[in-house]
A = this chain, B = another copy of it.
Amino acid sequence: MSLERASLNQYTTKPLSLIEAADACVRHGIPAIGVWRDKLAAVGLPTARRELAARDLRVSSVSRGGFFPGRDAATRRANREENLRAIEETAALGAQVLVLVCGPTLGTNIGDARAQIAEGIDVLVPHARAAGVLLGIEPLHPMLVAERSAVTTLAEANDLVARIGAQDVVGVVIDAYHVFWDARLEAELERASGTIFGYHVADWTTPHGAPDIAAARALMGEGYIDLATLGGWVTRAGYRGPVEVEVLNTRLWAGDQEQLLREVVTRFERYVAPSVLVSN
């Protein structure tokens, strides 16, 4: 099995700088990296461009745009400016996709948050199109609705994509960890065909959540997610792009990162690569 489709989302190895993570990718034969903006800022855009190019590493995505909801117009305007900067950085890195984590509910008003998310994405469309950047709406697990994203299912993300009506620019990112539980997943993946802009893998273990539900993901094959079936559905829906390993886990961050990368590679080859093979 091959690492051809593999990408390391750099938050899997959060203790490493962007350059260190890039070196690790080269060392372990991973041809692409998912970049986070805080890590990018730490090294600076010119250095990042130069160093990634020197290593011939592709950038599979930039995390993250989004966080559209705000309690007042000034906050929402600031959010928009931040998203425009994120689009520029994504283009400057030669990355195709800016991942949108759409932002949390505002108090009890999930409906308001959802309306502001739709409006927020809509405004970005011409800018993204001009920059040649795809905007990938990533539905997050419903347990994160109050803290991270009011967009909680692929159905809802697909509805948003249809409503915005700019499928050349606005699509979805599928993260196995966030969507695996959904009884309508297969049907919604089929519906998303042509607008899947990314596929992320991790696993889900129990007891879940401690100590931090936002950073309790497991390595592929450790838990309950049927990555073989899910990868098949994503592939059948026509997705042929990079597959990012994105395992946010406080325990793994505290451990040896070289050992972690060896595990990532072995588990990608075993649990992910066969499922995204395209038969001829």
List residues of A whose CB falls within 8 A of some B CB: 105, 107-110, 114, 141-143, 145-147, 151-153, 155-156, 159, 180-184, 204-213, 223-226
In the complex, the chain B residue whose C-beta lies closest to that of A157 is B183
- Which of B108, B145, B182, B226 contacts A152 (CB under 8 A)? B182
Asked whether B143 lies within 8 Å of A143 as measured between CB atoms, the reply is: yes
- Which of B110, B207, B226 contacts A213 (CB under 8 A)? B207
A276 to B169, CA, bound (A): 44
Asked whether B156 lies within 8 Å of A183 as measured between CB atoms, the reply is: yes
Tell me the smallest distance from the CB of A117 to a CB of chain B, in Å: 11
- Which of B114, B151, B156, B181 contacts A110 (CB under 8 A)? B181
Tell me the smallest distance from the CB of A155 to a CB of chain B, in Å: 7
The number of times this chain is found in the oligomer is 2
In the complex, the chain B residue whose C-beta lies closest to that of A216 is B209
- Which of B109, B114, B159, B208 contacts A143 (CB under 8 A)? B208
In the complex, the chain B residue whose C-beta lies closest to that of A114 is B183
Asked whether B210 lies within 8 Å of A210 as measured between CB atoms, the reply is: yes
In the complex, the chain B residue whose C-beta lies closest to that of A159 is B183
Tell me the smallest distance from the CB of A151 to a CB of chain B, in Å: 8
Contacts of A108 in B (CB 8 A): 224-226
In the complex, the chain B residue whose C-beta lies closest to that of A226 is B108
Asked whether A226 lies within 8 Å of B110 as measured between CB atoms, the reply is: yes
Asked whether A213 lies within 8 Å of B208 as measured between CB atoms, the reply is: yes
Contacts of A147 in B (CB 8 A): 206-208
Asked whether A209 lies within 8 Å of B213 as measured between CB atoms, the reply is: yes
Asked whether A146 lies within 8 Å of B213 as measured between CB atoms, the reply is: no
Contacts of A226 in B (CB 8 A): 108-110
Tell me the smallest distance from the CB of A90 to a CB of chain B, in Å: 27
Q: Most chain-B CB neighbours within 10 Å: which of A109, A143, A151, A226? A: A143
Contacts of A151 in B (CB 8 A): 183
Asked whether B224 lies within 8 Å of A107 as measured between CB atoms, the reply is: yes
